[in-house]
Structure 1
Amino acid sequence: MGKNYAHSVKDRSEEQWQSLVDHLTQVAELTTFRASPLGLKQAAYAAGLYHDLGKYDPAFQRKLRGEQNRVDHSTAGASVLMASTLSQEAIPREMIAYAILGHHAGLPDRNTSAPSSMGRRLEGYADALHAGWRDDVPQTLPGLSNELMSLLESGRSNENTGAFDISVATRMLFSCLVDADYRDTEAFYAEFDGAKDREWPLLAQVLPQMITQFDTHMDQFQPTGEINALRRDILSHVRRGAGMAPGVFTLTVPTGGGKTLASLGFALDHASLHGHRRIIYAIPFTSIIDQTAAVFRDIFGQQNILEHHSAIEADKNHEGRDKLRLAMEDWAAPVVVTTNVQLFESLFAARPGRARKLHNIAGSVIILDEAQTIPRPLLLPCLAMLDSLARVFGCSIVLCTATQPAVGETLKGGLALAGRELAPDPSGLARRLKRVEIGHGGIMDNTALVSALRGVDQGLVVVNSRAHALDLWREATGLEGLFHLSTRQYAAHRRRILAQIRQRLAQGLPCRVISTSLIEAGVDVSFPMAWRAEAGLDQIVQVAGRVNRNGELLPALGQVTVFTPDGYAPPAEIAGLIGDMARMRAEVEDLQSPEAIQRYFEEVYWRVDAGLDAKGICKSFSLLGNSTNFNFRTVAEQFRMIESGMVPVIIPRDEEAIKAVAQLHEPQISSGQIARILQTHLVTVPPKARERMRACGKGDFVRPDLRADQFFVLGPELDLYAEQTGLLWEDSEYLDLSQSIL
């Protein structure tokens, strides 16, 4: 048998190509290294050793030498493993087979009729491997079942959780393999072109310094005034809880109580005591990810913080060297600030680029800020994933919010939360930190709302849709200090607008803001008054957190007026929450108390019931005798935190964005690197709207030959984007027509 190769190099002799046996051995070792903290060393070694077995096909070797052919090199290793399965090793070998089959095309389903499913691919596989592969690759793989059983026993898996736990273990194995395969390929090609992703320090290396930096930062705040003293007490109490055993925690602190920094202090101390490998801070809205990341960078510096949004994904299933240009973050940074969308959709992903980070999520402290925002149709799958990460994969998870959802033991499929509250006396804190009265203003049309804003120097109106916010802003045009906030504006632009708002509020200047719900959760602003379109109690309480936030009006209270919009029906989901709130309203005295919020969420979950796993995702992972029935690909297609299916449009309006767009033409700069810069310079729009923009010449994909369809950029005239309104994609056809007439 002649020498077999894994990777070729154009215009280089075969002596400089990467040998196949070297690639398999190195990937096996790298996969094992990544899986060691997970308790999956044996399975990981087998996955790495067999993942590219199909490259022993002479047809693949001819392809490397220039023959134009298509060769499936991912099925062979899975087929060899499955064919030699011993009954007691069936499940762990299937886990390895999923990972091998998916390392290019993505994790497959087990038994569906799709051609991509494991069953169909194995049935259709015809062995064409050169027999000499047996001389290079060991065929004895002991200890797989014992290893898996030890993992499940350590995680207290049972008949209710076992199948889901094994599916998560398969995802972790897949992540280790994909990342190892990428890293070895990258290291080989780096010898020729020097392209290489960033290497991050380990959390353990920088944690002592980070704790010192955090303490120094907190020492700057003097405990003067009742609220500052209370925040300091909350921080001290929460940090004392760091010694509790790893697992799931709640942190229930009213808005303004300093829960962001308190949860960060807990995470640092908890990781130091229990050896966690990184800290992941997940935020529900892109509107506040920049704000939180900026706070963390101010404390720790840029070098240890990765900020990862959701909208641009460098994950196309390209072969060979294109994988280097399309590398996604593997979340190896000590501290990751990301969105709930990015976190949970990665955890349920099938694609290699999206799932590559999962093994680095294991062993982390995960803080879920505004935990109540997990979409209800996906609540039970998300809770099952959090439970498995905590029990089996060494994570500690903090559900951090002022409006704690009722996801404990009273909910079927809930988490073990008894005795796991980190805050001191949440009910007492709610009374001591109460700074707002909530009332109802009845039906209000836009004219009434504009009149209400005109009657105050500083006020906030929050409505349920971008369309309503834009209409209301247009009717209010002319009011002094008027601002419009919505996701029509890209994140970096919203950041500047919020800075102007904060400045005007601090200086006592007129400041009237019309916003969608993006301002509700965590945005650090404080108004004397607010109006909120009817919604769920959690949303109303979150708006109350933007009023008299720091007690500026005390002993007086701020005012939040809930109103029924005239002419704007609430979305169906919000209409249901309005009904839930109405049913529980008579049973509570104070809408802002933890008891009221608990009662509200119980009402919501009772009404929704089966809708807490609306797509049956938890049932998509089961065991049939001594075999798995995991539908990874189907679940990945169904699991969408945001159902709208919006697509990104890059706005090259700032110098940073203009420079990054120019770099799209430079092949040596990876798509992942550019995407990280552009993630704060994009607006998401409906797919059909983006197509209209393209048809009308208002934007296009930049370098599709190099970047595929990743980077759609608004045209250089920017006539669809305005300072106050943001992107008016609905106007693309109108502007095209008017310009042609002119």
Structure 2
Amino acid sequence: MSNTEQIAHVRALEDGSYETQPLLDHLHGVAEMAQSYAERITDYPELGEIGYLLGLLHDLGKYQAGFQRYIRQQSGLDPTLSGWRTPHSPAGARYAYDLTQVGGNQQLLKILSLCIGAHHRGLYDDSEWRGQVVEPRDTERAVADLVRGLQPEASQLEELLHKASLDKVATVWNELDEDDYQLLVRMLFSCLVDVDFLDTERFMSPDKSFARQNAKASLKEMRAQLEEYVSHFNREGRINEARAAFLDQCRSHGRTAKRKIYSLTLPTGAGKTVSSMMWALEHAIAKGCERIIYVIPYTSIITQTAQTFRDIFGADQVLEHHSDVDIKERPDEAMEYTKLMTENWDVPLIVTTNVQFFESLYAHRVSRCRKLHNICNSVVVFDEVQMFPPRLLNPILRVVESLHYAFRVEPLFCTATLPVFDEDILSDTNRIGHEFFFLEEPIQEVVPYDAKLFAPFDKVRYHWDPLRLSTEELAERLIEHESFLCIVNSRNDAARLYTALQAQEKSGEGLIHLSRRMCSAHIQERIEEIRRRLKAGEPVRVVSTQLVEAGVDLDFPVVYRAMAGLDSVMQAAGRCNREGRMAEPGEVYIFSLTDGTNALGEMSWAQGALEDLLDRLAQQGAPQREEIERYYKAFYNDVDCFDNKKDKEVSKRLWGEDNDRCEELRFDYETASEFFRYIEDQSTAIVVPYGKEGKAIVKKLQSNLPLTRQEYRQMNRLTVSLYEKDCLTLGSSISVSESGIAYLTNDKLYSSETGIQIIDQTLIFMGV
């Protein structure tokens, strides 16, 4: 290799020699792939020209002499050189911003500059981009240096540049809505960083690159697998007949549906998971979509859906992307493939969480943004949409609408209680200065309401007159039932009620506690125990927080639900007589604890909206569509956080209060990502000594021994998130390892029944 050759990467070989990747080869390879990716993110393949230029220019700063010396010295290729770190992204970004010879549209050139300047550090705030790229004299000198280094290959690069034309892209630009500009920059940025990683990986880590080529089923093959799976369904009986009818309707509708935003509002127990997948596959194939993404509220309810899909399509075809992926008994090779796929979502079926999905769409960091372009041209199923947090509804609905209209995303909202997302619910109020972003077009139903088909799912009697009971009185009432599910509103209420039930003489066996004071592994084991006891017909008495309300298939004869929102009560009712096997309807009671935790914020508003509706609800009857809509309108009119300070900051920095910000692409990506937090609470994750794995990990943390890769993965399922006041109460029973991981030191404070015991250590010391 000539010492004057411009190189992008250097790879050390096992025999002590080195292999280099010519810089022009890297630029050309990234350009070609980025073009193909950018062509698919919208209905305008002309945007591939921007992708091509992004790839061609992204590493142009590596032509600086200082960078070439640095890479040779640092890699060991030529250790005699005096190399120093030479940033290459700002120089390439400035070069692109001044590149008027390929178009002249300053907006498009700014997109090139924004993405190139950010492709290692993440998307900038506008002022930071100007301070790093446009204004510094150092950047001007770096551009002059790269131009000198470019001379041997300038003619080849110029020829490639002329292949791209931004003239036709400028026409497309005028077709796009200004509100979509900020997301377009993200998507193009995503195309660039993913391709840059892939081309670099192909040269630097060919084994890892090869591992990505795992066989992936086509959507048509997956449809055939699903048809085989449902062909064995039992269609006898009113409930199974209705489920089959819903499935048939979803199949037919998916094939013929136009590009709109749809909802699937089936009653609980109607087979929504499989029916929604049937619709998604049919619709994806009909519209030429590349993948299906299931977005689910919490990790605690994602496992069941993912397992259903694994049963249908096989484990290798389902990518779970969330913190609680269970690696137990899975070969490390399979986990390595899963890790690779979570980087860019280049698979046909992804199951992920609201946190991962929406925070990625508002993120600025490279690792979070890398997968975004693979959301485009997909069917996205949002499960249990009633659980979207009201304080984030504006940015959530705004980005869903943008994905649909500009980026070929086909959304499906799944729920038994569809919120009012497509009406200006605050228009008739006097809430001056408060805004609600509602969807522009009405949401269309996949399965319209049919009284005959829905009737078999009226399997419970609602007792709408709330009981007012103390914890002791509630325990005395509950213990009269051989099996029950009682859902309360807080961890403290669950612990207190569980203790009160234990004290009852007739408490018997099968008493189980569920709350987020238990780690995910513990919760999952308890849920499996509940299912086993229910299937065997054994007594099972469950006290739980709302973590079992959605997405967990349980079937109790009676359910008690602490006063909450109408959606929560109906979700709880979905755990009652779920399969309709009882001769009489199941019983659902709502109650208020006179000595319970006071509701605050959203819970308080939800309770108030339901209380206002109680007189309108038919005694013992299930709420109808009109009553559900009335509830949400009342709830949203009480909610005081649609336009909270953080939400306003996100909107201001990505869309602005005038048209100039969008038109001039003055976006503050980094600041907006800091304000958009799906989970707002300031909790601390504590590793707990649950089971053999938990005890072993805590022991290693105490000894400051390094954890293995498998232990790090296990650790996600062995943590409990505690509020600051609880951490302070536990005091010295919580320690932090040298690597910054908090853990519970006293294993006696983790109960096999109820999880972490929040006990004031001062009182124990005083003998109280």
Q: Does 1:280 align with 2:297?
A: no
Residue 14 of structure 1 and its aligned partner are, at CA, apart by 8.4
- Is this contact kept in 2: 1:63–1:69, CA < 8 A? yes
Distance 2:57 2:700 in 1: 38
The change in CA–CA distance for 1:571 and 1:259 in structure 2 (over 3 A counts) is same
Is residue 2:115 matched to residue 1:99? yes
CA drift of 1:259 comes to 1.0
Q: Give yes or no for contact 1:581–1:600 (8 Å, CA) kept in 2.
A: yes
Q: Does the alignment pair 1:44 with 2:51?
A: yes
Partners of 1:271 and 1:247 lie apart in 2 by 13
Q: Which amino acid aligns with 2:610?
A: M
**Aligned match for 1:244, one of 239, 244, 257:** 257
Q: Which residue of 1 aligns with 2:501?
A: 476
Counterpart position of 2:534: 505
2:483 counterpart letter in structure 1:
Q
In structure 1, what is the equivalent of residue 398 of structure 2? 384
Q: Match for residue 167 of structure 1?
A: 182
CA 431–325 in structure 1, closer or farther in 2 if over 3 Å, else same: closer
- Work out which structure has the larger RCO, using CA pairs closer than 8 Å and 6 or more positions apart in sequence: 1
Report the CA distance between 1:421 and its aligned residue.
0.4
Query: CA–CA distance in 2 between the matches of 1:274 and 1:619?
Result: 34
Change (3 A) 1:734 1:485: farther
Structure 1: tracts of 5 or more residues without a match:
313-323
1:642 aligned partner: 679
Aligned to 1:618: 651
Task: Map 1:618-697 onto structure 2 (within 5 A).
Answer: 618-622=651-655, 623-624=659-660, 626-650=663-687, 653=690, 679-686=716-723
For the pair 1:394 / 2:413, whether they are aligned, the reply is no
- Name the counterpart of 2:37: 34
CA shift for structure 1 position 688: 8.8
Identify if the C-alpha distance between structure 1 residues 685 and 10 changes in structure 2 by more than 3 Å, giving closer, same or farther.
Answer: farther
Distance in 2 separating the partners of 1:697 and 1:582: 41
SS at match of 2:125: coil
- Distance between the aligned counterparts of 1:690 and 1:47, measured in 2? 48
Partner of 2:604: 575
1:593 deviation in Å? 1.5
Superimposed CA distance per residue, residues 392-450 of structure 1 (whole angstroms, 9 cap, x where no aligned partner): 11111110000101112445632255472011316665544212213333332221222
Map 1:75-474 → 2, pairs under 5 A:
75-85=90-100, 89-111=105-127, 116-119=128-131, 121-124=133-136, 125-128=139-142, 129-130=145-146, 131-133=148-150, 135-136=153-154, 137-138=157-158, 140=162, 142-144=164-166, 146-147=168-169, 149-150=171-172, 153=175, 157=176, 162-191=177-206, 194-196=207-209, 198-199=211-212, 205-242=217-254, 243-310=256-323, 328-411=342-425, 413-416=437-440, 418=442, 420-425=444-449, 430-436=454-460, 437-474=462-499
CA contact (8 A) 2:617 2:623 kept: no
C-alpha spacing 1:695/1:63, structure 2 compared with 1 (3 Å): farther
Residues 220/718 of structure 1: CA separation in 2 closer, same or farther (3 Å cut):
farther
Q: Residues 692 and 48 of structure 1: is their aligned pair in 2 closer, same or farther, counting only changes over 3 Å?
A: farther
Q: Answer yes or no: is the 8 Å Cα contact 1:241–1:266 preserved in 2.
A: yes
**Would the aligned equivalents of 1:250 and 1:400 in 2 still touch at CA under 8 Å?**
yes
For 1:28, the aligned partner's letter is: A
Q: CA deviation at 1:535?
A: 1.3
Asked if 1:561 corresponds to 2:590, the answer is yes
User: Residues 419 and 33 from structure 1, CA distance in 2 versus in 1: closer, same or farther, beyond 3 angstroms?
Assistant: closer
d(CA) in 2 for partners of 1:224, 1:507 = 23
Q: Which entry has the higher C-alpha Rg, 1 or 2?
A: 2
Q: Assess if the C-alpha contact under 8 Å between 1:8 and 1:14 holds in 2.
A: no
Q: Residue 666 of structure 2 aligns to a residue in which SS? A: strand
Stretch of structure 1 that moved more, 486-495 or 218-227: 486-495
Q: Which residue of the partner structure matches residue 634 of structure 2? A: 603
Query: CA separation in 1, counterparts of 2:725 and 2:34?
Result: 41
Paired residue for 2:23, among 20, 28, 36? 20
Paired position in structure 2 for 1:60: 67
Relative to 1, partners in 2 of residues 1:326 and 1:717: Cα closer, same or farther, differing over 3 Å? farther
2:28 corresponds to which letter in structure 1?
T
Coordinate RMSD, CA, aligned: 3.6
Deviation at 1:659, TM superposition (A): 10
Would the alpha carbon gap of residues 692 and 533 (structure 1) be closer, same or farther in structure 2, given more than 3 Å must change?
closer
Q: Is the 8 A contact 2:688 2:698 kept in 1?
A: no
In the aligned structure 2, how far is the partner of 1:260 from the partner of 1:506? Answer: 21
- Structure 2 letter corresponding to 1:607: D
In structure 2, C-alpha distance between the alignment counterparts of 1:482 and 1:13, rounded to whole Å: 64
Residues 601/427 of structure 1: CA separation in 2 closer, same or farther (3 Å cut): farther
The answer on whether the counterparts of 2:284 and 2:379 sit within 8 Å (CA) in structure 1 is yes
1:272-311 Cα shifts (integer Å, max 9, x gaps): 2222111111111211111111111111110100011147
Amino acid at match of 2:231: D
- Counterpart CA distance in 2 for 1:508 and 1:187 is 56
2:7 aligns with: 5
The more displaced of 7-16 and 295-304 is 7-16
Report Cα offsets for 1:23-55 as digits up to 9, x if no partner.
222222232232221233111122222222222
Q: Which amino acid aligns with 1:475?
A: A
- Pair 609,468 (structure 1): closer, same or farther in 2 beyond 3 Å: closer
Query: Once the two structures are superposed, what CA deviation does each residue of 1:459-508 show, in whole Å capped at 9, x if it has no partner?
Result: 11111222222232233236321111122333333222111111212223
Contact 2:557 2:577 in 1 (8 A): yes
1:311/1:99 Cα in 2 relative to 1: closer, same or farther (>3 Å)? farther
Q: Give the share of equivalent positions with the same residue, in percent.
A: 33
Structure 2's unaligned 5+ residue stretches are: 75-81, 326-337, 426-435
TM-score, length of structure 1 as denominator length: 0.85
Offset of residue 209 of structure 1? 2.7
Distance of aligned partners of 1:583 and 1:484 in 2 relative to their CA distance in 1, 3 Å threshold: same
Please give the per-residue CA displacement for 1:527-581, whole angstroms capped at 9, x wherever unaligned.
Answer: 1112222211111111111111111224434223232452410122211121222
Aligned length: 702
